[in-house]
Amino acid sequence: MTRRTVLVFALTALLAPAMSYAQDYQVVVHSTNPTDILTKEQLGKMFLKKIVKWDTGTPIIPVDQAPTAAVRATFNKVVHAKPGSAIASYWQQQIFAGRDVPPAEKAGDAAVLAFVKANPGAIGYVAAGGATDGVKVLSIR
């Protein structure tokens, strides 16, 4: 094989896992939210409550999946670049310091979608390919 072919195979092997994660979840917001696109950095800050308002001034209400959900593990790895245990540790520090509490947790996609539909400032994530009727799916870059 040529050096170029080896390089293409190596890059494909390195990038394939990262590309597959991006397709494992969808970020959803209330249908009236004017936002269409977020960066991973913005999304991460919203879920850590470091960004607390939408551009419209509406408070951001993040909602997480259950700690044992596979989609949550993927979301944490892709968006926060950390395992769930590191995120849990962050929230324990925030609680202990009296700063904030973690996002509400919902048991599954249907519960996340119901929460987002009922709260104009809400943002959540669900497994890719599932029904997202009544909510808006954001693009993440």
The domain locations on the chain are: 24-140
The pLDDT, as a whole number, for residue 36 is 95
How much of the chain exceeds pLDDT 90, in percent? 79
* Average pLDDT estimate for 128-140: 91
CATH number of 24-140: 3.40.190.10
- Give me the sign of the Cα torsion angle 118, 50, 26, 39: positive
pTM: 0.82
Quick: pLDDT tens for 19-33: 434 468 999 999 999
Q: Which of 47, 29, 49, 7 is nearest to 136 (CA)?
A: 29
pLDDT in tens, 103-120: 999 999 999 999 999 999
